[in-house]
């Protein structure tokens, strides 16, 4: 029998697949991810240094364990991209062009990958984020109706990424985080905050998953 957390994830994944199969993305395999430039590779360690441009995210901060936060944050974020939002409608005036909110208009936002998770500003808090499609700006992205959701621009940055498969358990992820941190220490590379990135639904066999640990480089 599935645990409550696993069952919650399973239901959400079914809804996600249905939305993707009917929406602009077409299929799960068509889900887009942010563009980036590979600066350096360490093939033997499955580590890359990447340069990301400015990204736009919708994020939720949730208290609790990492797995609990992921489950609690997924629902409002998924509802937001599914249409629980208000479209910003541009209305052309004499000058300048202004923006107003259309009261009953909403839009679906195509799903992207990965879903990211990083420690929040306080202990026992996590920030879970969906990266928004690049066709939007902060000015054109629909306003969320749920006050939990924040829309934010993340400045372009250089990061170190450890890509792997396997379990999403706290122990497995922490082991991979330490591995990347130790590798960067050995290379004399200064780093700051970290986050996890997940590209696959929970029912994907663990050996086929794409998971990443990401450290921002200084």
Structure tokens at 141: 């992205």
Quick: pLDDT tens for 128-165.
999 999 999 999 999 999 999 999 999 999 999 999 99
Mean pLDDT of the chain: 82
pTM score: 0.79
How far is Cα 191 from Cα 177, in angstroms, rounded to an integer? 12
Query: How far is the C-alpha of 142 from the C-alpha of 87, rounded, in Å?
Result: 5
More confident residue, 154 or 91: 154
The one-character DSSP state at 85 is E
Average pLDDT rounded to a whole number, residues 166-184: 96
E runs forming strands in 14-170 = 37-42, 47-52, 55-63, 85-86, 88-91, 98-101, 115-119, 125-131, 143-144, 150-154, 157-164
On the question of pLDDT at 95 being above 60, the answer is: no
Burial pattern 5-28, b for ≥16 Cβ within 10 A else e, equals: eeebbeebbeebeebbeebebeeb
Residue 200 is classified by DSSP as S
Q: Which residue has the tokens 């409550």?
A: 4
């Amino acid at each position: 029998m599935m645990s409550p957390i696993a069952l919650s994830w399973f239901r959400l994944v079914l809804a996600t697949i249905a939305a993707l199969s009917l929406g602009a993305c077409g299929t799960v395999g068509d889900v887009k991810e942010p563009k980036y430039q590979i600066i350096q590779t360490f093939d033997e360690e499955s580590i890359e240094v990447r340069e990301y441009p400015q990204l736009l995210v919708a994020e939720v901060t949730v208290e609790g364990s990492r797995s609990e936060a992921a489950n609690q944050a997924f629902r409002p974020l998924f509802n937001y991209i599914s249409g629980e939002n208000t479209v910003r409608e541009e209305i052309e005036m004499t000058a300048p062009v202004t923006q107003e909110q259309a009261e009953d208009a909403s839009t679906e936002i195509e799903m992207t990958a990965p879903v990211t998770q990083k420690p929040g500003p306080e202990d026992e808090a996590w920030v879970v984020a969906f990266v928004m499609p690049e066709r939007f700006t902060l000015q054109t992205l629909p306003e969320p109706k749920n006050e939990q959701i924040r829309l934010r621009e993340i400045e372009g940055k250089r990061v170190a990424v450890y890509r792997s498969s396997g379990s999403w358990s706290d122990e497995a992820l922490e082991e991979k985080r330490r591995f990347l941190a130790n590798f960067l220490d050995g290379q004399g590379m200064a780093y700051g905050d970290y986050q996890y990135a997940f590209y696959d639904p929970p029912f994907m066999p663990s050996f086929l998953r794409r998971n990443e640990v990401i450290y921002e480089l200084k």
